[in-house]
Structure 1
Amino acid sequence: MNTANSKQLEVLLRAVPEAAVIGTLAREIGQLTLDSRQAGPGSLFVALRGTQTDGHRYIQTAVELGARTILCEELPALTRPDVTYVQVLDSARALGLLASAFYDHPSHHLKLVGVTGTNGKTSTATLLFQLFRGLGYRCGLLSTVQNQIEDEVIPTTHTTPDAVTLNQLLAEMRQRGCTHVFMEVSSHAVVQQRITGLTFAGGIFTNISHDHLDFHKTFDHYIAAKKGFFDQLPPQAFALANIDDRRGSVMVQNTRARVETYSLQTMATFRGKMLSETFQGMHMQINNQEVWFRLIGRFNAYNLLGVYGAAILLGEAPEEVLTELSGLGSPPGRFELVPATGLVGIVDYAHTPDALLNVLETIVHLREGNEQIITVVGCGGNRDAEKRPRMAAIACRHSDRVVLTSDNPRHEDPQLILDQMLQGVPPLDFKKVTVLPDRREAIARALELAEPHDIILIAGKGHETYQEIKGVKYDFDDREVLREAFEHRERFLKKDQSH
């Protein structure tokens, strides 16, 4: 989908005034690309330094395929007289500015709201998208689960797309009449300048805990990345922070945007209180208004407060917002109940210690008697290994039985990941732990361990419909596998009873 006409290089480069140009500016640019294999006549190839490879190595490939404009930080050893080289200090930053200009600055014409934090980004962005559609607006969504323009779902591979794809999507959303767009903003996207050049109407901070240290190396760098989003917000935007998180006020301390807050514990612009909850929903008070919501758990109470606050800051009427919010359910794979006879099945994306703790504490709170909580959980490969023992320790502390299994091992040895998780199991809890690397077998074992009315949590993958092992993606959906396991159990029980 190309929603932009070609642009003159001279005009485009007004967005990057610090660029040094070698060669003619009289070039027509019909495409921006980061992938040399997609270069061709009319392409501007951007040489990015990434975590896996350096785009500068592929400048020659792009030229051979027909690209006659190259943006780079370092000029190649041999330059060609028929090629224009645009040299900048930071290719990623320049790309963000160029991509926005190439697609006619789509974010300037949209109410774009970014959501950042460790947990709750997807739920908050998706609830905002559903809420504003319910209020009658045409909307776009950019999330981990999916990108969406009204009813059309566009598959996604990253929490935040690269700058070209992002601006292309925003331009398409604008062209199709969207007025509001809600997007997750990952810490990677901030550091890698994917959101540079975008104009946000507001930003929401959910919470922060240890995650992505494989990329950021230290927790301080991770915090700084999240804070970088709020530092970029313009004065006319709002910065809405969860101040119950101890770093909530830090996130917005240097922002030029208007700072507003939400809380379940203290005075804030948007104040909430949980009155009661069951597996069917919860009764809350928000700014002195009592409402019943279909969502479950304290973590969702925070998500609802953030969504409510953002809607009010975007000019919506409180009564209409609460009425519409009360009818919304959870996004796919977020505390998703899987129906079964005599058991409670829950699939949740919890893949960080904090998220797993939130979900398990909610289940413990909702448990009415002595039902067992049986947790199936693993940890992803090629990701922050520090959280693996902590995940197992949390599962043991709040569950009666635990089945440790594979998540997405990616290129790592699944058994090595499980061994690292086992290091977090307290000696007295070893008797409650089963280790099964095969995730399907692990889910089946959880059902074998279950007695009537027990609660089974399948944590870690949520909405994902694949499992990645040794770099290969296989079809695997926790919800489908759990449903099949429930059906098998019911058939077995009926057969047993008939005898």
Structure 2
Amino acid sequence: MSLRRYDLQQYIELLDEHQLIQYIQADQNALEREVEHLSYDSRDMKPGGLFICKGAHFLPRYLQEAVDRGAFCYISEKEYDLPGKDVAMILVTDIRKTMALLANRFFNEAWKQLNLIGITGTKGKSTTTYYVKYILDHYLSASGKSPCAILSGIDVDDGVISEESHLTTPEAVMLHRHFRNAVDSGREFLTMEVSSQALKYDRTAGVVFDVGCYLNVAEDHISPIEHCDFDDYFESKLRLFSQCRTACINIDADHAQEVCDSVDPAARIITFGTNDKADIYGHRIISREDGIDFEVKTPTFEKKFKLGMTGLFNVDNALAAIAICYALGIPEESMYHGLAAARVPGRMELFMGKQSGTLVIVDYAHNRMSFDRLFRSTIKEYPDRHVIAVFGCLSLIHI
């Protein structure tokens, strides 16, 4: 599908509506010129492009390279000296909000043509995102439709780009490019992780999720370069629930009531958990050496499920996926088959020694909360086995 193009003046008017403009330097020719490309990566710039100067490590030579490659205008929070270059300039007060607005406009609000699912939480985002994809893929394949697109901390598949992830949630320009790729590839659903950093820095600003999901929260990502304290971290996560039509909330998680209170008044709330007050209630949980059996009671059905992965904590993730798909009206049959088949790279992967009978579990656990959950679950699930832990450490921060 060809994109509708907008001229520079129309982008300026959009930013002016949101009171982001500081100063404009552009002649009439530049104002009337259509923007044919949008990027913050100078290596990606093309003729007719609008270049975004952003980031703590931005260097003036990046702008020079972008202009050399065809950028006719740049947007920044500060002015740069470009001797001998006839380049338009727009100075703004907030480059992050600006990026989200520009990307949304440039890619023609592609997200509006998707069933969009956003999942946040300290732990379990990747696993839950994969569980949802497995369920939706079963549902879609039955009618010969394209599989669900995914943006996770593990990998990305939007129908055009299929690669290992670089960020849990991409920057706004790349995020909206993924949305557009998914739509143009015939994808009807996209499930994604939404990190606290993405919410804090407006990568998803302006986007409305059909379903937003809250898994849990704990003290993590607290540092000078992420969140200054827990309040900043938690409040960033809460922003998701002001921009979703249905909120699925883990009733067993800390701060669940605060999350419920933050939901847009017009949105629907569906709770899940192992508490019998949950809308999606999981109970009679039985661990097997190769997975977990559990039962689920919802307002419309009761069913036994089999999860094809170990880790008792994954029941919470499975209940989250069921709640999300329940909100979307997905048949329970697809929920069952999707979860039974679900596997997540690097998450509770099992390997059995053919001769020794040694069971090896590979998991991404990388901090105290993850290790505590992993060890508690493993000891409970394999009470007759001797547990040996082998782990790597990237830096002193993980000790």
Name the TM tier (shorter chain): 0.7 to 0.9
Which of 331, 356, 362 is the matching residue for 1:347? 362
Q: How well do the aligned residues superpose, as a CA RMSD in angstroms?
A: 2.4
Instruction: Tell me if the contact between 1:3 and 1:172 (Cα under 8 Å) persists in the aligned partners.
Output: no
Instruction: Tell me if the contact between 2:131 and 2:321 (Cα under 8 Å) persists in the aligned partners.
Output: yes
Residue ranges of structure 2 left out of the alignment (5+ in a row): none
What is the letter of the counterpart of residue 361 of structure 1?
A: R
Residue 201 of structure 1 aligns to a residue in which SS? Answer: strand
For CA contacts below 8 A with separation 6 or more, give which structure has more relative contact order.
2
Q: How does 1:61-80 map to 2 (within 5 A)?
A: 61-76=65-80
Instruction: Tell me if the contact between 2:168 and 2:194 (Cα under 8 Å) persists in the aligned partners.
Output: yes
How many residue pairs get aligned? The number is 377
CA distance in 2, matches of 1:28, 1:105: 17
Query: What's the CA shift for 1:184?
Result: 0.6
- Give percent identity, aligned residues only: 27
Closer/same/farther in 2, CA of residues 368 and 150 from structure 1, 3 Å limit: farther
CA distance in 1, matches of 2:341, 2:161: 19
What is the letter of the counterpart of residue 72 of structure 2?
A: R
| 1:221 equivalenced with 2:236 (yes/no) | no
| 1:311 equivalenced with 2:322 (yes/no) | no
Closer/same/farther in 2, CA of residues 368 and 59 from structure 1, 3 Å limit: closer
Instruction: Tell me if the contact between 1:3 and 1:168 (Cα under 8 Å) persists in the aligned partners.
Output: no
CA distance in 2, matches of 1:360, 1:61: 50
The aligned counterpart of 1:230 is 241
CA distance in 1, matches of 2:349, 2:276: 30
Query: What's the CA shift for 1:14?
Result: 4.4
What is the letter of the counterpart of residue 98 of structure 2?
A: A
Closer/same/farther in 2, CA of residues 151 and 290 from structure 1, 3 Å limit: farther
The aligned counterpart of 1:249 is 257
The aligned counterpart of 2:8 is 9
The aligned counterpart of 1:181 is 190
| 1:49 equivalenced with 2:63 (yes/no) | no
Residue ranges of structure 1 left out of the alignment (5+ in a row): 389-420, 422-499
Closer/same/farther in 2, CA of residues 377 and 195 from structure 1, 3 Å limit: same
The aligned counterpart of 1:427 is none
Closer/same/farther in 2, CA of residues 270 and 39 from structure 1, 3 Å limit: same
CA distance in 1, matches of 2:219, 2:340: 33
| 1:324 equivalenced with 2:337 (yes/no) | yes
Residue 271 of structure 2 aligns to a residue in which SS? Answer: strand
Q: How does 1:5-404 map to 2 (within 5 A)?
A: 6-16=5-15, 17=17, 18-20=19-21, 21-24=24-27, 25-50=31-56, 53-54=57-58, 58-76=62-80, 82-136=86-140, 137-138=145-146, 139-149=148-158, 153-214=162-223, 215-231=226-242, 233-234=243-244, 237-256=245-264, 257-287=267-297, 288-317=302-331, 319-341=332-354, 342-369=357-384, 371-381=385-395, 385=397, 388=398
The aligned counterpart of 1:482 is none
Query: What's the CA shift for 1:223?
Result: 1.2
CA distance in 2, matches of 1:15, 1:129: 35
Q: How does 1:455-494 map to 2 (within 5 A)?
A: none
Residue 258 of structure 2 aligns to a residue in which SS? Answer: helix
Closer/same/farther in 2, CA of residues 160 and 326 from structure 1, 3 Å limit: closer
Q: TM (normalized to structure 2)?
A: 0.87
Query: What's the CA shift for 1:83?
Result: 2.4
Query: What's the CA shift for 1:149?
Result: 3.6
Q: TM (normalized to structure 1)?
A: 0.70
Instruction: Tell me if the contact between 1:48 and 1:55 (Cα under 8 Å) persists in the aligned partners.
Output: no
